[in-house]
Amino acid sequence: MTNKLKLIVNERARSPVAEAFRALRTNIQFSKADGELRIIMVTSPGPAEGKSTVLANIAVSMAQAGRKVLILDCDLRKPVQHSAFRLTGKGLTNALAEGMPVTSLIQETDIKNLRVVTSGPIPPNPSELLGTSQMQQILNSLKEQCDVLLIDAPPVVAVTDASVLAARTDGVILVVNSGTTRPEMVQKAKDLLIKAHGDILGVVLNRVEIDTDQADYYYYYGN
């Protein structure tokens, strides 16, 4: 079963949630004083914390700001980016397993400046595929096709895939579900990413309830 992600930034551009994603975009741009942020990975401690939805909306907000954005769906176990952007066809695993040129797998979306490489068929050995030298070559190739490459990676505590990728990125964003994720899981995710030489840019606390007064204040000013 596939889950349709909500592209709030595109569908409800004047909502407080969309504004929060634009603020997140700005924070990411200023999160690293030294060095360029060209490859950013988004993951979470466990499943169902919203990391794929957060990534898709960050991507849309960056594209709307005029940056050339490319999403690479590296969640080879439960991929969903193809459903968010209504895409079909071959993807990353076809490049890794069959040697297809990854640039030929880049798909356009309905959103200007935003393109996607979907996951492709689910393989039996995701972490082994993501750890190959060929994967590094793919990242290098895709990096040249955009201003920002956003990687959707599986939950870091559940499987090793995100740890395998972490050191190959310029930074990692950890998405944590408000009210349900245990603190020790967040700590473990942080420890695993640091051990893998990942540079954690920050944590997104997802699904936080917005106070009614705060929302009214936004609507007053935003309108």
- What's the CA gap between 166 and 195, in Å, rounded? 10
Report CA torsion sign: 110, 66, 28, 130.
Answer: positive
Examine the pLDDT at 179 and tell me if it is beyond 90: no
d(CA 22, CA 28): 10
Distance (Å, whole) CA 187 – CA 100: 38
pLDDT digits (tens, 9 = 90+) for 58-107: 999 999 999 999 999 999 999 999 999 999 999 999 999 999 999 999 99
Which tens digit of pLDDT belongs to each residue from 142-171? 999 999 999 999 999 989 999 999 999 999
Report residue 186's pLDDT band, with 50, 70 and 90 as the boundaries. Answer: very high
How much is the pLDDT for 4?
64
> Could you tell me the pLDDT band of residue 219, with boundaries at 50, 70 and 90?
very low
**Beta strands, E only, 48-139:** 69-73, 107-108, 114-117
Computed over every residue of the chain, the mean pLDDT equals: 91
